[in-house]
């Protein structure tokens, strides 16, 4: 009995070993490296001096001025706030487009459903960088939008709509990149929904709007929360859309971190920023778990 | 005693055709029926007979192909479900999983924009009626099947519908609960005075609860009548077979007319009413319930009927008589159990009015 029990425990540890190795090498390892780097001194030629220092973290909020005094520097806080706002806006916009899209797809026949879901996933087949470049062609000077404005005489040849290198351009890029991640989870929860509940609600005098507000929206909440997390988290750290469509004029968290490692050669600061971003994401996930607990009761019922 | 009956629902020439691809399925074929106010009306039939389709047409979940449905003399065919003053109790209850019992029941009242105080009092009133008041704060998945059933009833009753539609509401419950709920439903109907339209495939359920029954098969209404009428004088073979046990014996008409005589293939002559369209020497089918047949001992030279099966049921027995390839089922009362045994030769007789020539 006892031996058997021990064997079982041993077996379980052994069988989980590959998983731990994978998680260790690909997840915990790099994170540890980041954490260690964030606590070192920077080396202007790249890499780090192996000497403990909190300067990476300090730099997030404080700067050393000409007189070697430490003073508060809100520049990075502004970048963080801007990234946060942009990610939030992108998530909200994705939800605004993704929810009706998912609802529309879920109401189609099985055949049409499969085709539409397939179409939603098609963008993943091409590299994000290339797809974002496509937006430059669409939004840019003399691009698709401007030339069609020209064509209809709404814009003369010399002037430009100045669509590129704005927050809106970044927002468009972000929403475009991550919209499928919003549509799919919402679709999944709508697909699971018992259509007879909609009949019941209509039978009980609900009009179309009340049907959506009182039944469909609350019942697809797990999908909405899941999709929002999936969009919000990568948006917070995104750097492709901000760099290409924002022109790097307005730094965002992702670009800032990338910049520290590539050009600025301030690895500790980049790593500290990355850790900060991670903390932010974990906070969001905890918030999400809280929200989800409320919805789990009835999500489990199916 | 006789009060003037008010028509609650008039179904006139209602046809429903489902089209999927190139195939068309006729779910209802020109159905006609009238359901009176304050009536417990049952649509009875085997699965796929069109009874649920008719209910869904009344509720408004399906578009009608042809015909009209009137609710208290008002055409409702063009109204969407949320504009029809009828409510439905669904087969799987379909309670809103994200709302608690109270909110489920209050749902309809809230959509009708009733006063907050009225919503509260009416919600508790119906919860009281179905004895679920103490569960008001529970979520549906914290309730047993029977409790969910009661909440579903309360939810449908709360907005005081003119007609309550019930789609096999008892089929998901276990036997004991199902039997108890029959009485509760019947009582509820009487207390509320709301017209109930009840769909079931269970003939026992239909017989015990209904004021009137419509038997439906293959999209056609076979017979409409009170339970006794349907049981005692079914209008055709389908109804006779579907409701209760029936013997359908073949024979030949000897003398037509009111005091007619028919001879069974077993050689027995029966006195019974022969409908006018049947002439002498026509082949006929004669319907008789097993419990109506009385048997007595006979001998081989007098009778060709012998007991071929004897099934003991505790409080009674069913026996099967055999003769010339014809089988007759008979219910034997408890006091006769000891008298007969297998392979005995017997003679049968029954009251004239209990046998009937059937189409």
pLDDT at A302: 38
Residue A94 contacts by C-beta under 8 Å, 6 or more apart in sequence? A175, A178, A179, A181, A182, A227, A228, A231
pLDDT at A171: 92
Contact B101, B142 (CB under 8 A): no
**In this model, does residue A70 exceed pLDDT 60?**
yes
Answer with the residue of higher pLDDT: A204 or A248. A204
Reduced to 3 states (helix: H, G, I; strand: E, B; else coil), residue B9 is strand
Q: What is the mean pLDDT of residues A76-96?
A: 92
- Whole-model pTM: value is 0.80
B145 in reach of chain A (CB within 8 A): no
CATH of domain B7-240: 3.40.50.300
In a domain, A114, yes or no: yes
Instruction: State the nearest Cα–Cα gap between A121 and chain B, in angstroms.
Output: 29
Q: How far is CA A108 from CA A115, A117, A191, B42, in A?
A: 10, 11, 10, 35
pLDDT at B28: 92
B20 contact residues in A (CB cutoff 8 A):
none
Instruction: State the nearest Cα–Cα gap between B223 and chain A, in angstroms.
Output: 29
Q: What is the mean pLDDT of residues A47-58?
A: 82
pLDDT at A53: 83
Contact B210, B198 (CB under 8 A): yes
Instruction: State the nearest Cα–Cα gap between B103 and chain A, in angstroms.
Output: 11
pLDDT at A203: 94
Contact B253, B284 (CB under 8 A): yes
A301 contacts B140? CB cut-off 8 A = yes
Q: What percent of chain A has pLDDT over 90?
A: 30
> What's the half-sphere exposure (Cβ side, CA atoms, 13 Å) at B346?
25
pLDDT tens digits for range B31-82: 999 999 999 999 999 988 999 999 999 999 999 999 999 999 999 999 999 9
B141 contacts A301? CB cut-off 8 A = yes
B61 in reach of chain A (CB within 8 A): yes
pLDDT at A117: 93
d(CA A30, CA A37) in angstroms, rounded, equals 10
Instruction: State the nearest Cα–Cα gap between B311 and chain A, in angstroms.
Output: 45
Q: Which residue of A has its CA nearest to B157?
A: A204
**Token pair listed for B317:** 């027995």
B137 in reach of chain A (CB within 8 A): no
B21 in reach of chain A (CB within 8 A): no
Q: How far is CA B307 from CA B249, B311, B321, in A?
A: 17, 11, 5
Alpha helices in chain B (DSSP H): 51-59, 101-111, 116-129, 145-157, 175-192, 203-209, 227-232, 237-242
B82 contacts A206? CB cut-off 8 A = yes
A203 contacts B81? CB cut-off 8 A = yes
pLDDT tens digits for range B262-307: 888 877 788 888 888 888 888 888 899 988 888 888 877 777 788 8
pLDDT tens digits for range B151-208: 999 999 999 999 999 999 988 888 888 888 898 899 999 988 999 999 999 999 999 9
pLDDT classification of B16: cutoffs 50, 70, 90: very high
d(CA B65, CA B24) in angstroms, rounded, equals 12
In a domain, A30, yes or no: no
Chain A and chain B share a number of CB contacts under 8 A equal to 68
**Token pair listed for A271:** 């790593």
pLDDT classification of B136: cutoffs 50, 70, 90: very high
Least confident of A34-43, B246-255, B292-301: B292-301
Q: What is the mean pLDDT of residues B116-139?
A: 93
Residue closest to B67 by CA, chosen among B29, B37, B36: B29
Contact B161, B109 (CB under 8 A): no
pLDDT classification of A296: cutoffs 50, 70, 90: low
Q: Which of B111, B141, B156 sits opposite A210 (nearest CB)?
A: B111
d(CA B333, CA B322) in angstroms, rounded, equals 19
Contact B167, A199 (CB under 8 A): no
- CATH superfamily placement of domain B245-358: Nucleic acid-binding proteins (2.40.50.140)
pLDDT at A69: 78
Reduced to 3 states (helix: H, G, I; strand: E, B; else coil), residue B257 is coil
**In this model, does residue B118 exceed pLDDT 90?**
yes
Strand order in the sheet with B317-323: B306-312, B317-323, B326-332
Least confident of A231-240, B85-94, B322-331: B322-331
pLDDT tens digits for range B318-356: 888 887 778 888 888 877 777 888 888 888 888 878 888
- DSSP letter string, B259-308: TEEEEETTS-EEEE---TT--TT-EEEEEE-GGG-EEEE--TTT---EEE
In a domain, A22, yes or no: no
Which of B19, B56, B97, B123 would you mutate first to test chain A, the one with the most A CBs within 10 A?
A: B97
**In this model, does residue B3 exceed pLDDT 80?**
no
A190 contact residues in B (CB cutoff 8 A):
none
pLDDT classification of A297: cutoffs 50, 70, 90: low
A203 contacts B87? CB cut-off 8 A = yes
**In this model, does residue B1 exceed pLDDT 70?**
no
Domain ranges of chain B: 7-240, 245-358
Three-state secondary structure readout of A122-173: HHHHCCHHHHHHHHHHHHCCCCHHHHHHHHCCCCCCCCCCCCCCCHHHHHHH
Contact B43, B51 (CB under 8 A): yes
In a domain, A194, yes or no: yes
Domain of A248, in residue numbers = 39-299
Total domain count for chain A? 1
The answer to whether ipTM exceeds 0.90 is no
Contact B272, B356 (CB under 8 A): yes
In a domain, A254, yes or no: yes
CATH of the domain at A164: 1.10.3720.10
Chain mean pLDDT for chain B: 89
Instruction: State the nearest Cα–Cα gap between B84 and chain A, in angstroms.
Output: 8
pLDDT at B166: 95
Contact A188, A117 (CB under 8 A): no
B299: left (phi over 0), alpha (psi -120 to 50) or beta: beta
Phi/psi of residue A166, each to 5°?
-130, 165
pLDDT at A2: 54
**In this model, does residue A75 exceed pLDDT 80?**
yes
The CA R_g of chain B, rounded to the nearest whole Å, is 25
A207 contacts B82? CB cut-off 8 A = yes
pLDDT tens digits for range A257-282: 888 888 888 888 989 999 988 998 89
A200 contacts B108? CB cut-off 8 A = no
């Amino acid at each position: 009995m006892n031996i058997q029990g021990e064997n079982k425990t041993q077996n379980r540890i052994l069988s989980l070993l590959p998983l731990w190795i994978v998680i260790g090498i690909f997840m915990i390892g790099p994170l540890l490296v980041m954490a260690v780097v964030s606590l070192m001194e920077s080396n202007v030629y790249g890499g780090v001096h192996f000497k403990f220092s909190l300067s990476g973290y300090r730099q997030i909020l404080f700067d050393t001025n000409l007189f070697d005094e430490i003073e508060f520097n809100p520049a990075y806080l502004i970048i963080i706030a801007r990234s946060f706002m942009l990610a939030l806006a992108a998530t909200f916009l994705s939800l605004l487009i993704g929810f009706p899209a998912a609802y529309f797809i879920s109401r189609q026949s099985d055949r049409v459903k499969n085709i539409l879901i397939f179409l939603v996933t098609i963008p993943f087949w091409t590299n994000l960088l290339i797809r974002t470049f496509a937006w430059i062609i669409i939004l840019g000077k003399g691009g698709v939008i401007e030339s069609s404005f020209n064509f209809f005489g709404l814009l003369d040849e010399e002037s430009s709509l100045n669509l590129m290198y704005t927050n809106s351009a970044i927002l468009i890029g972000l929403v475009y990149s991550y919209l499928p991640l919003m549509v799919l989870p919402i679709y999944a929860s709508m697909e699971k929904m018992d259509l007879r509940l909609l009949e019941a609600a209509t039978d009980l005098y609900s009009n179309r709007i009340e049907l959506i507000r009182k039944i469909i929206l609350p019942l697809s909440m797990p999908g909405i929360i899941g999709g929002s997390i999936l969009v919000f988290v990568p948006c917070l750290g995104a750097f492709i859309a901000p760099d290409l469509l924002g022109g790097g004029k307005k730094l965002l968290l992702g670009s800032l971190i990338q910049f520290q490692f590539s050009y600025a050669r301030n690895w500790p600061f980049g790593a500290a920023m990355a850790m900060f971003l991670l903390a932010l994401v974990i906070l969001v996930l905890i918030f999400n778990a809280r929200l989800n607990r409320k919805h789990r009761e009835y999500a489990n019922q199916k | 005693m006789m009060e003037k009956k008010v028509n609650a629902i008039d179904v006139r020439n209602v046809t429903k055709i489902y089209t999927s691809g190139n195939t068309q399925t006729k779910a209802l074929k020109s159905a006609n029926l009238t359901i009176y106010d304050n009536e417990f009306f049952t649509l009875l039939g085997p699965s796929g007979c069109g009874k649920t389709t008719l209910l869904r047409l009344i509720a408004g979940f399906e578009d009608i192909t042809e015909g009209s449905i009137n609710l208290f003399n008002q055409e409702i065919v063009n109204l969407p479900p949320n504009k029809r003053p009828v409510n439905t109790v669904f087969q799987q209850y379909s309670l809103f999983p994200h709302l608690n019992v109270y909110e489920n029941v209050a749902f309809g009242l809230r959509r009708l924009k009733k006063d907050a105080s009225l919503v509260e009092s009416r919600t508790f009133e119906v919860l009281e009626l179905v004895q679920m008041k103490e569960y008001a704060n529970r979520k549906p998945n914290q309730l047993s099947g029977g409790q969910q059933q009661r909440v579903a009833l309360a939810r449908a009753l709360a907005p005081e519908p003119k007609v309550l539609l019930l789609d096999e509401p008892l089929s998901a419950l276990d036997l004991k609960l199902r039997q108890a709920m029959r009485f509760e439903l019947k009582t509820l109907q009487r207390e509320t005075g709301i017209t109930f339209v009840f769909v079931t495939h269970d003939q026992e359920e239909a017989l015990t609860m209904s004021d009137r029954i419509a038997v439906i098969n293959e999209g056609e209404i076979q017979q409409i009548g009170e339970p006794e009428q349907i049981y005692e004088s079914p209008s055709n073979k389908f109804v006779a077979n579907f409701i209760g046990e029936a013997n359908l014996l073949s024979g030949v008409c000897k003398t037509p007319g009111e005091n007619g005589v028919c001879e069974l293939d077993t050689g027995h002559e029966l006195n019974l009413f022969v409908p006018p369209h049947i002439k002498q020497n026509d082949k006929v089918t004669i319907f008789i319930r097993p419990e109506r047949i009385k048997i007595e001992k006979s001998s081989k030279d007098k009778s060709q009927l012998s007991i071929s099966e004897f099934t003991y049921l505790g409080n009674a027995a069913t026996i099967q008589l055999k003769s010339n390839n014809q089988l007759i089922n008979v219910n034997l009362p408890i006091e006769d159990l000891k008298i007969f045994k297998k392979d005995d030769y017997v003679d049968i007789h029954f009251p004239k009015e209990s046998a009937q020539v059937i189409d």
